[in-house]
Amino acid sequence: MAKKRTKPKKTQKSKILNFNFKNLGNDISDYPFVEIRWMDIEGDSGWSDTKSLKRSKLPICVSKGYLLSQSKGVTRIFTDYIETKEKTTFDNIGNTTIIPTSVIESIKKIPLKK
C-alpha cells in the first residue's frame, strides 16, 4: 500500500503575545512595544463581476505601539503617552487602537533601545 503524501502543516503565527499584563504599572519601559499585522475589511459599492470578487484579497494593515492588553478577544495598543514632570511615569495615553484578536495575522515584540 502506498503512503499518502501529506502537506507540511503551516505553522500558525501567534495572535497572542505571552505576557503578564497584570503586573504592569506606570513605568512605560514595562510595556512591550509591538508590531501587529491584521486583516482589514474592504468594500466596494461600484459594479464588478463575481470572478473579480472571488480573486479579491483582504488588505493587511500594520500597527505599531505599546501593548496595553489582550483579553476577551480584543487587543489594545497605544502609541503616545504623557510623562509626568516629577517622576518617570506616565499619566495619559493617546493614539489608541483596538483590534479584534481574531483578525490578527501576527504580533511580534520589537526591542526598543534604551
Specify the pLDDT at position 11: 47
Specify the pLDDT at position 52: 93
Contacts of residue 66, defined as CB under 8 A and 6 or more positions apart, other chains included, come to 28, 31, 32, 33, 34, 77, 78, 79, 81, 93
Specify the pLDDT at position 67: 96
Q: What is the mean pLDDT of each run of 10 residues along the chain (114 residues)?
A: 59 71 80 96 94 95 96 95 77 93 96 83
Specify the pLDDT at position 6: 64
Distance CA 69, CA 21 (A): 6
pTM above 0.85, yes or no: no
